[in-house]
Chain A
Amino acid sequence: MATVPHLQINNLRAKIEDKEILKGLNLEIKGGEIHAIMGPNGTGKSTLASTLMGHPKYEVTGGEVSLNGEDLLEMAVDERARAGLFLAMQYPSEITGVTNSDFLRSAINARRGEGNEISLMKFIREMDGKMSTLEMDESFAHRYLNEGFSGGEKKRNEILQMMMIQPNICILDEIDSGLDIDALKVVASGVNEMRSEDRGFLIITHYQRLLNYVKPDFVHVMMQGRIVKSGGPELAERLEAEGYDWIKAELGIEDETVNAE
């Protein structure tokens, strides 16, 4: 029944307050594909993630985004999630008083809809299994959502949510920042376990490091609020080895950040 997921971004422009950050971005992601977006700081990578999810601070000023043929930009944040979009956030919120497991069950049931709620037993079984894949202590199920979690624990928790919710398009926003190599491997194994024809990924990262463990099909470089270069996995390797200057030189870019006019 499931059609292959398809996210289409055309000429997307977005601003925060009065500052335009995305300046005409194009990208297409289909089920089965893993895309990586790389780029130096301040080039609009995280803005892209937040804009796609519908963060209230970002305002879309132009372009279109469709998810499986539907207008994503018309949807509220929760509707985007229920349509299959997921964003593993760089800075997840801490929510006092809401336990991780209650939250996750609410999220799963929100997607499944009324009358089709997951049974408690099945939920616990799945959560236990995925927490063990991510090497998370059982106590995390009953702790308040992200409260007092270390940076690495928060990142694992984002991946746990992704694994439990089973979205169609997954965006990982700097999921690797602040992780040591062991944690990185654990997170990567979670992502690899999710890899499927029914699911597309967009991995936003500074570093090649994560891509050693999660092999991307496409690598894009972002500068000045748009994608300026695309290629295969070899592009990430060259960036790791040589940095970004050669791209800037090739394209005649002096200031790669969105501040550049």
Chain B
Amino acid sequence: MGTDTQLRFDQEAIKQYSQTNQEPSWFLEQRIAALALTQTLELPKLEKTKIDKWNIDQFHPFQTEASVETIAELAEIVKELVDVQGVSSLLIQKNASVIYKQVADELKAEGVIFTDLATALREHGELVQKYMHTAVKADEHRLVALHAAACNGGTFLYVPKNVEVKVPVQAIYQVAGNDSLIAPHVVIIAEANSRVTYVDSFVNGEGSNMVASSVVEAFVGSNALVQVASVHSVSDQVHDYSFRRAVVEQDGRIEWILGEMNDGNTVAGNESILKGKGSTADTKSITIGTGKQRSNLTSKVQHYGTHTDSQMLSKGVMTDEAVAILNGITKIEKGAEKANGEQAENILMLSEKARGDANPILLIDEDDVTAGHAASVGRVSEESLYYLMSRGIERRQAERLVIIGFLDPVVAEIPIEGVKDRLRQAIERKLG
């Protein structure tokens, strides 16, 4: 490893941060082990995307920030994401600090834990240890190892069995300042028969050469329902790496709603492991590629249990000189009888120089299953434009209606109004 990939933080920095947050020793040991792994592990192998020249590890991970007392004091970009009426449990992290936290009393009363990772490590260390990095392991590749070593916050959400959390809980992650890092680790544990919706947003403040490196691990108990909605809209000054994975027990269900609205280079891997019989997964994601950004977005479902069902829908709009690779992988393991996996990737191309690849992949090791895929790459249909224009709508506006409409079936599913509005704004902004 050459000097150019020298990290900007070392074991001492990790120890210091760990001590400041009174992390348990096992967690510090994990960090140190992960730090060693960053020197030996390879980057993940990504279909048609070379990331070795991207900003992988050039960041200062432990920049602390002052907390705020009220939502009014938050930066505008963060404040507008907060739906004061709709959300009562909210966590806001800026760089390596939780700057605002609010938890509804009802949640506490029902035994739900919704807190930042550092607090969870101090107060519920054993519970965290039982789950953390069991779905997304630190030794998978260098990006996860870097995350595990430099993790600077995150959210811990635990829902006891039979508890239905009716109002979505929300987290906002903001990275700001030159060479800053936001590296939240999110652990969601939904016990049997519980329900919960977690919504997060990634935004950035002023600064250059920033990195976002996040991991979400969701553990969906039997007959539980977990909905995760995530909107990433950071600037071209941020390289964003996110890895999300859910493990779903019998008759449980995971629903992902993902808005990849970054202006910068992005790697996102989203995976559902359908372990229990009859477990199901639904993944909907949208992206808009603009400028010269490069994105590699993978949705994957692994079927282990019998009678499992997965649906995946990825939609991309590509313009300028952007390149996006949308991978959809349906993997049905031997023994997953009566499983069904459906996936579709649809890409709308708006410019000659943009590129969008839709790669549907079905890997099936069991005979008694059904699976299907549909992929399309196309342009805005002239027939649709003709129809809209025949009612007096100008061509440019007609195109926008069609493009925004193409994405809307996913946007409409975002469970928090503030986040949905912001996503719509991000779409408008990206389409210029």
Contact = CB atoms under 8 A, between A and B. Distances in A.
A110 interface: yes
Given A56-B382, A93-B383, A93-B384, A98 B390 contact: no
A245 interface: no
B344 to A, nearest CB: 13
B394 A97 contact: no
B155 to A, nearest CB: 31
B387 A97 contact: no
Interface stretch (B83-91, B230-238, B401-409): B401-409
Task: Give chain A's interface residue range (CB within 8 Å of chain B).
Answer: 20 to 34
Contacts of B405: 95-98, 144
A187 interface: no
Interface stretch (A19-27, A64-72, A77-85, A220-228): A77-85
Interface string B389-416: 1111111011001101111110000000
B397 A110 contact: yes
Interface in A89-145: 89, 92-93, 95-98, 102-103, 106-107, 110-111, 144
A56 B390 CA distance: 11
A195 B30 CA distance: 79
A161 interface: yes
Nearest to A53: B390
A107 B391 contact: yes
Q: Which applies to chain B's interface (DSSP): helix, strand, loop or mixed? A: helix
B383 A103 contact: no
A103 to B, nearest CB: 7
A137 to B, nearest CB: 20
B388 A96 contact: no
A37 interface: no
A95 B387 contact: yes
Interface of A: 53-56, 76-78, 80-82, 86-87, 89, 92-93, 95-98, 102-103, 106-107, 110-111, 144, 161, 165
B311 to A, nearest CB: 17
A106 B386 CA distance: 15
Contacts of A55: 386
A78 B394 contact: yes
Nearest to A162: B391
A111 B392 contact: yes
Nearest to B391: A107
Contacts of A78: 389-390, 392-395, 398
Contacts of B383: 93
A159 to B, nearest CB: 13
A106 B404 contact: no
Interface in B173-230: none
A95 B391 CA distance: 14
A106 B389 contact: no
B386 A77 contact: yes
B386 A56 contact: yes
A110 B393 CA distance: 6
A106 B387 contact: no
Contacts of A89: 387, 390
B409 A95 contact: no
A92 to B, nearest CB: 6
B387 A92 contact: yes
Given A93-B384, A95-B401, A106-B401, A165 B390 contact: no
Most buried by A among B393, B398, B401, B408: B393
A81 B404 contact: no
B254 to A, nearest CB: 25
B402 A98 contact: yes
A213 to B, nearest CB: 25
Nearest to B412: A97
Nearest to A146: B387
A97 B391 contact: no
Nearest to A88: B390
A44 B409 CA distance: 38
B379 to A, nearest CB: 13
Contacts of A54: 386, 390
A54 B386 CA distance: 8
Contacts of A103: 388, 391, 401
Q: 10 closest pairs, A vs B, by CB?
A: A97-B405, A97-B408, A81-B392, A107-B391, A93-B387, A110-B392, A77-B389, A78-B389, A98-B405, A82-B392
A98 B403 CA distance: 10
Contacts of B395: 76, 78
A96 B408 contact: yes
A107 B392 CA distance: 6
A56 to B, nearest CB: 6
Contact of B406 (A81, A93, A97): A97
Contact of B391 (A56, A81, A96, A144): A81
Contacts of A111: 392
Nearest to A102: B401
Contacts of A86: 390-391
Given A81-B391, A87-B390, 4 more contacts: A54-B390, A93-B383, A97-B407, A98-B405
Contacts of A92: 387
Contact of A98 (B381, B382, B401): B401
25 contacts: A56-B382, A77-B386, A78-B395, A78-B398, A80-B390, A86-B391, A89-B387, A89-B390, A93-B381, A95-B387, A95-B401, A95-B402, A95-B405, A97-B405, A97-B407, A97-B409, A98-B401, A98-B402, A102-B401, A103-B401, A107-B393, A110-B393, A110-B394, A161-B391, A165-B391
Given A53-B390, A78-B389, A103-B388, A96 B409 contact: yes
Contacts of A96: 405-406, 408-409
Contact of B384 (A95, A102, A107): A95
Contacts of A76: 389, 395
